[in-house]
Amino acid sequence: MTDAANDKPLRLFNSLNRQLEEFVPVHPGEARVYSCGPTVYNYQHIGNMRAYVFADTLGRVLQWKGYKLTHIINITDVGHLTSDADEGEDKMEKMAARENKSAWDIAKFYQEDFERDLARLNVQPKQHPRATEYVEAMIAWGERIADKHCYELDSGLYFDVSTVDDYGRLARAVTDDGEGRIDTVEGKRNAADFAIWRKTPAGETRQMEWNSPWGRGAPGWHLECSVMGEALLGFPFDIHTGGIDHREIHHPNEIAQNQAYCCTNGLDDARNSGARIWMHNNFLVERSGKMSKSAGEFLRLQLLVDKGYHPLAYRLMCLQAHYRSELEFSWEGLQAALTRLKRMVMAVERLKDEAAGNPSHPKLAPMREKFASAISDDLNTAVALVALEEALAVKKIDGGVKRAVIEDMDAVLGLRLFTLSRTDLRIRPADAQITEAEIEAELLRRKEARAAKDFATSDAIRNSLADKGVEVMDGDPLGWEWRL
Ligand code: AMP
Ligand code: ZN
């Protein structure tokens, strides 16, 4: 922390204790973060991507605060059943059968698509370990905890949740018949018990299966995050993140495994859970149900792009809400975010030629102060955005100073304000029938016609453009001359 504006304690909401806590790194000067990643059996919807925009913003804040960041987003390519609670089929195998491809090809395809979406949302590069690379380590983990904490059934090795203290504290739902716990596996001791290893049923072969002391089969889903978190970050690490649904089943189960593995007792000391702080983003919701992957076409980033929205307009939309609040998706909301982004990009355009100066300037100090306080207060990005806009609006100030301040803020928000251009924001909808060069040429012709007071030609050009889906925007306050 080199700068006074940045010299505030970072307070984060720890879901485990349901309170704001000051971030104190486990290893001085470092921040180690694990974010539960996607199951790569299908495209990610924009709700999933909200989870990674949140995780990325957290990572950027930690770096901005001066910590050396190690950040994992794992790739689940085996083990996740259609229900989080050990019910149903394996998501990967089910999709492989449906698409008539190998489960490995499915995983590769959707992982690449996911990584493309991360890049388009300007998520900084992270480590993406795959579950299938850690199966040996998962088996070793199972062997270490099996005697004291597990029991074997015909279908696999199960974790007995009554063998650890404070099971379910994160979820605040400890009863056997708590939400989402449907006990259909014959012989489970507690409804919440979950699979460490799932045996391949006799007479069946799975595409993804391994030998283990409990027979041929595949690891349970929860195990991978425990194993990869420990292997890559060491226990306890600083922060574990995920969407709010993981607070109920996946993360309580991870925590139970971690307690068993480390032989730690209750969770009064958060470090016994494997991580110091557990953070959860709330959901992006869409009333008409287009986010459900089972509903055929669903809302994914590519659909936004196809409709002409820049992906960073979606990032901005996420940042406008607090990560712990539900965010309702609407096209109007996305349009508003795009307009806001355009305004910022236009204001920054004037600063692009300036060499960054010293950001310390009394005129910009209040905005920097506001920005730092907001960000340090459990990542209040909504207020931070306002501080950035207020700094942009300050008049009669050296451009280089302003540039330095805005760049510093954008390092946290990740909107790429200095590399985005107006043309970038004018994404062509997939169904556009006309190129940008053609539009520009037509508009030039129209300008000449108007200069010559030939309004008939000018109107005819305008109408013919309208037929091709181009709206001519005379006098647009943002200086945008047209939009598709
Ligand atoms: P999954 O691939 O289902 O494991 O989900 C990947 C990540 O997205 C997890 O962290 C989920 O908690 C999160 N997630 C799922 N749906 C939403 C949503 N509608 N809004 C925000 N995050 C979500
Ligand atoms: Zn996980």
Closest-CA residue to 14 (of 215, 188, 330, 267) = 267
Question: Would you call 218 helix, strand, or coil by DSSP?
Answer: strand
Q: For ligand 1, is residue 220 a contact (CB within 6 Å)? A: no
Q: For ligand 1, is residue 81 a contact (CB within 6 Å)? A: no
Q: For residue 338, how far is its CA from the centre of ligand 1 (angstroms)? A: 24
Q: What residues form DSSP beta bridges with 22?
A: 11
pLDDT, residue 432, reads 82
> In which band, very low, low, confident or very high, does the pLDDT at 468 lie, cut at 50, 70 and 90?
confident
Q: For ligand 1, is residue 243 a contact (CB within 6 Å)? A: yes
Dist CA 293 CA 321 (whole Å) = 24
- Ligand 1 pocket test: which of 41, 44, 45, 48 has the largest number of ligand atoms within 8 Å of its C-beta? 48
**Residues 6 or more apart in contact with residue 179 via CB below 8 angstroms:** 173, 248
Look at the block and give the residue holding tokens 């994404």. 427
Token reading at 239:
């922060």
- Which ligand 1 atom is at minimum distance from the Cα of 245? 12
The ligand placed nearest to the CA atom of residue 229 is: 2
- Ligand 1 pocket test: which of 130, 245, 246 has the largest number of ligand atoms within 8 Å of its C-beta? 245
Q: For ligand 1, is residue 246 a contact (CB within 6 Å)? A: yes
DSSP letter at 207 equals: S
Q: For residue 286, how far is its CA from the centre of ligand 2 (angstroms)? A: 24
pLDDT, residue 427, reads 78
Q: For ligand 1, is residue 79 a contact (CB within 6 Å)? A: no
Nearest CA, atom 4, ligand 1: 38
pLDDT, residue 473, reads 83
Burial state string for 42-60 with b = 16 or more CB within 10 A and e = fewer than 16: bbbbbbbbbbbbbbbbbbb
Q: For ligand 1, is residue 47 a contact (CB within 6 Å)? A: yes
> In which band, very low, low, confident or very high, does the pLDDT at 177 lie, cut at 50, 70 and 90?
very low
Q: For ligand 1, is residue 96 a contact (CB within 6 Å)? A: no
DSSP letter at 475 equals: T
> Average of pLDDT values for 206-223?
94
The 10s digit of each residue's pLDDT in 34-85 is: 999 999 999 999 999 999 999 999 999 999 999 999 999 999 998 677 776 6
The 10s digit of each residue's pLDDT in 229-288 is: 999 999 999 999 999 999 999 999 999 999 999 988 899 999 999 999 999 999 999 887
pLDDT, residue 96, reads 85
pLDDT, residue 474, reads 82
Q: For ligand 1, is residue 51 a contact (CB within 6 Å)? A: yes
Dist CA 343 CA 349 (whole Å) = 10
Q: For residue 145, how far is its CA from the centre of ligand 2 (angstroms)? A: 19
3-state secondary structure string, 136-192?
HHHHHHHHHHHHHHEEEECCEEEECHHHCCCCCCCCCCCCCCCCCCCCCCCCCCCCC
DSSP E strands, 246-387: 275-281, 284-285, 327-328
Q: For ligand 1, is residue 344 a contact (CB within 6 Å)? A: no
Return the minimum-mean-pLDDT range out of 153-162, 171-180, 302-311: 171-180
Nearest CA, atom 15, ligand 1: 48
Percentage of the residues of the chain whose pLDDT score is greater than 90: 76
Nearest CA, atom 21, ligand 1: 283
Residues with C-beta atoms within 5 A of ion ligand 2 = 36, 225
Nearest CA, atom 9, ligand 1: 243
Q: CA angle at residue 447 from 442 to 453, to 5 degrees? A: 125
Peptide bond into 236 cis (omega under 30): yes
